[in-house]
Amino acid sequence: MFIRRNLISFYVLIFITSSQLFSQDQDKRITKADQSFTAFEYIDARAIYMDVAQRGYSSQNLYSKLGDSFYFTGDLEDSVVWYEKLIQTYPEDLNPEYLFRYAQSLKSVERYKEADRIMDQFYAITGNDKRAKSFIEKRNYLDFIEMQSGKYDIFPLSINSKNSEYAPSFNNKNQIVFASSRSKSINDSKLHKWNKMPFLDIFSSNIKEDQITLEDPVKLKGKINTKFHESSTSFSKDGETVYFSRNNYTNNKLGTSKKGVVLLKLYKATLKDGIWTDIVELPFSSDDYSVSHPSLSADGTKLYFASDMPGTFGQSDLFVVDVLGDGKYGEPKNLGSNINTEGRETFPYISDSGRLYFSSDGHVGLGGLDIFVSVPNESGFSDAFNIGKPVNSSKDDFTFVLNEDTKIGYFASNRKGGKGNDDIYSFKQVEELITSCMQYIEGTITDSATGEPLIRTDVTVLDNNRNTLYQAVSDLKGKYKIKVPCEESYVIQASLNEYIPKEVTLETTDVFEFIHDIPFALEKIGTQEVLSTTVEVTIGDDLGKILQLEPIYFGLDDYEISPKAEVELQKIISAMNKYPKLKIEVRSHTDSRSSHWYNKKLSVKRMRATIRYIVRKGNIDWRRIPGKAYGERRLINKCADGVDCTEEEHQENRRSEFIIMKI
C-alpha cells in the first residue's frame, strides 16, 4: 500500500522544513525528521515526530507532518487524530489542502457527516477547486453510490502475501500479471526508505478454469525485474509487447530529478522465446516528473498513463499519447477537466469498448482512492461515475481491470481483512453500471370501465416535435417501463386497437434513477355517448361541433395526425359506427402563408391523412367519407395575405371540418 500510494502514485511533495523551537535538542531532531520527510522517508521521519509529540511539544509544523506521514503512506485512519489537532489548535493561516486531507481521512473511518462539514469549509475557502465544486454539486453522493452499489460480486485470492500485491493486468495469454514485493529480502538496505517495504517485481499467474481464481505466481523472465520498483503493466493484443512502470533506472543507471528524487518512467519490452528483452524507455518520460501506469487501447494506437508532467491540473493527471509505430509517439494530451482534478487521478484502464476506469481522490467518493468509470463521447470522455460498493470502500481501491466478454476482472485494495499491505481481489460484474443520469417511466394500463389490465398496449415516448424516441409494450399484467434521459420534456402516449389513445406530458428532473409512475385508463371505442338525442342534427352541420370536438389542428407545413388529434378522430369513428347511415365530408384548410398553389396541395394532404386515419382505424367504408381541400380560400378570421397576425390566429385556419352529408 505504501509504495503504491506514494512512489507509484508519484507524489512530488515539497514541504517547509522550518518549525518553532522548543529546545535546541528538539530543534535538531525535528530538522533531521524534516530532512527525511522531504526525501520521502516517511517512516523514519514519523518516529522522530511521534517522539517529540509524546514529550508534550506541539506546533503547526509538527502536527501537519505527523498527519502527512500517515496520509502519504496510506494510513488515513491514523492521520485523523493529527489533522484534528492541527485544525483545532492552529485554525489561522491553515493551508486549505489540510482540510481536504482531513475530510478524506474522516471518510476512511466512515465519519461522513463530519467529512462533509469539513468539505463545506474547504469549498468556502477554495471556491473554484474542482474537488470542492464536485462535492457541492453532488451533496447526495452517498445516495448515488448506494444506487450504484451491488453490481459486482468480489472474491479474495490465494496469491496475496503479507507484503503488497496490486496492478493486475491481462496479458492475453490466459494469465494475470501483477506487481508484488513478496520475494524481496527484508534486509534493511533492500527496503524502500519511503515506507520500509521491499521493492516491487512483476509476476504472472495462470487463470484457473473458473476464470476467477489464480494459480501460484512466478516472476516474469528476462530483464524486466531489477533491484528497484517495477509495476503497472499493459500488454498488446498478441501478448508480445508490454508497457510497464519502473523507477528511473535505464541501462543499469539510476537517474534522479534536479531535487535528487528517483521518479518513475514508462518502458517497453518485447517477448522473444519466452524472455522479455529489448527494454527501452519511452521518449516522453523525464528525469524531472513521473510518467507511469500504462494502459494500451484495444487497437494498440493509444497509450493512456498517469503523470505529474507540466500541464497537470493536480497532483497527478491522466494523459493519452498516440502510438505511431517504429518506436515513435505523438505528443501527450491531458484528458481534461471531466477526468482530472486538483487531486490524484491515477491507474487508468481503457477497456476494449473504450470505457475509462481509473482511481481518484479528487472526485467525490467513499474515502482514499475510489474507482470511477467514464464513457467515451464526442468530446472525449463523460463525467466520472463512482462504481460503488463493494469494489469501492473507505480505504484505497485501485488498479481495476475488466474482461468485458466474461464480465470478470480484478482490482487491488488496502481494505481490512486482507493478507498484506495491498491485496488483489477478483470480481464478477452482475449488473450494468449507471453511467448517465437516467429516469424511468412506468405504470399500469387498464380498461377505464372494468379496471382490467390491457396487454400489448403500445406506449410511445415522443419529444416536443412529436418525434418518436422510445417505445414499449405492456405485459400480461398491463405494466410497462421505459428508460429516458434526465432533464428533458416528453409526451407519453398509450394506444391500443379499439381504444381511444391517451397522452400525458412529462418533465424529467436531474435526480438519478427516479421513477415516474404514469398509469393509463383507456376508454373503449363505442362506450361513450355520441350524437345526443336532445341535439337536432341536420344535413350541412359540422359533426365536430355537435360532438364538441377539440379543434383538429395541424402544425405549420405539416399533415401528420397528432396523438391529440387521434383522440378526437376516434369520436368521429365512434359516431359513424353507431350510426351506419351517417355520411360526412372531410374539409381541410390551411392558413394564408405560402403560395395559393402550395396551400392547395398541403390541404389535399391533410384531407387525405384525416380520411385515411378514419377509414383504417375505424374500419369505415371509404364511400361514407369523401373529402374536399380548400387551401387558404376559406379563412375564418382576418389573417389574409399581408395581414399581421399571431401564430395562434394563423392556427385557427389550419383545420379540418366534418360536414354531415347524410343521416
Phi/psi at 459 (5° precision): -120, 125
Residue where one domain finishes, among candidates 378, 405, 429:
429
Give the CA distances from residue 231 to residues 77, 157, 272, 539, in Å, rounded to whole numbers and listed in that order.
Answer: 26, 19, 21, 90
Is 90 exceeded by the pLDDT of residue 41? no
Q: Which of 55-69, 161-175, 257-271, 506-520 has the lowest mean pLDDT?
A: 55-69
Cβ burial of 432 (10 Å; 0-12, 13-18, 19+) is exposed
146, part of any domain: no
pLDDT per position as a tens digit, 439-486: 999 999 999 999 999 999 999 999 988 889 999 999 999 999 999 999
Q: What is the DSSP string of 291-334?
A: EEEEEE-TTSSEEEEEE--TT-SSSBEEEEEEEEETTEE---EE
Is 80 exceeded by the pLDDT of residue 276? yes
Q: Is the Cβ–Cβ distance between 4 and 300 less than 8 Å?
A: no
CATH at 641: 3.30.1330.60
**DSSP 8-state assignment for residue 117:** H
Do 358 and 319 belong together in one domain?
yes
pLDDT of residue 334: 98
446, part of any domain: yes
Do 520 and 583 belong together in one domain?
no
577, part of any domain: yes
Do 413 and 349 belong together in one domain?
yes
Q: Where are the beta strands (DSSP E) in 7-157?
A: 152-156
Do 418 and 378 belong together in one domain?
yes
Contacts by 346-349, CB closer than 8 A, 24 or more apart:
346/9, 346/293, 346/306, 346/316, 346/318, 346/398, 347/167, 347/232, 347/293, 347/306, 347/398, 347/399, 347/400, 348/293, 348/295, 348/304, 348/305, 348/306, 348/318, 349/295, 349/399, 349/400, 349/401, 349/402
pLDDT of residue 5: 45
Do 280 and 366 belong together in one domain?
yes
How far apart, in whole angstroms, are the C-alpha atoms of residue 388 and residue 364? 11
182, part of any domain: yes
* pLDDT confidence bin for 40, thresholds 50/70/90: very low
How far apart, in whole angstroms, are the C-alpha atoms of residue 614 and residue 622? 9
Residue whose C-alpha cell is 471531466: 338
Residue where one domain finishes, among candidates 385, 401, 429:
429
- Cα–Cα–Cα angle for 539, 544, 546, rounded to 5 degrees: 65
Q: Which domain holds residue 60?
A: 2-139
The per-type count for the chain, helices as H runs and strands as E runs, is 13, 39
Mean pLDDT of the chain: 88
Residue where one domain finishes, among candidates 80, 113, 139:
139
Do 391 and 510 belong together in one domain?
no
**Segment 325-346 mean pLDDT:** 96
CATH at 495: 2.60.40.1120
- Partner residues linked to 409 by β-bridges: 402, 427
Residue whose C-alpha cell is 389513445: 501
Q: Is the Cβ–Cβ distance between 576 and 547 less than 8 Å?
A: no
Do 218 and 240 belong together in one domain?
yes
Do 53 and 96 belong together in one domain?
yes
Do 115 and 160 belong together in one domain?
no
Q: Is the Cβ–Cβ distance between 351 and 357 less than 8 Å?
A: yes
Q: Is the Cβ–Cβ distance between 218 and 197 less than 8 Å?
A: no
**Segment 122-143 mean pLDDT:** 93
Which ranges of 109-252 would DSSP assign to H, the alpha helix?
A: 112-126, 130-137, 141-148
Do 418 and 361 belong together in one domain?
yes
| Total of domains in the chain | 4
263, part of any domain: yes
537, part of any domain: no
Of 571, 401, 434, 574, whose CA–CA distance to 512 is shortest? Answer: 434
Neighbour count for residue 369 (Cβ, 10 Å): 32
144, part of any domain: no
Do 160 and 254 belong together in one domain?
yes
250, part of any domain: yes
Is 60 exceeded by the pLDDT of residue 176? yes
Do 361 and 253 belong together in one domain?
yes
* pLDDT confidence bin for 43, thresholds 50/70/90: low
* pLDDT confidence bin for 531, thresholds 50/70/90: low
* pLDDT confidence bin for 497, thresholds 50/70/90: confident
Is 50 exceeded by the pLDDT of residue 9? no
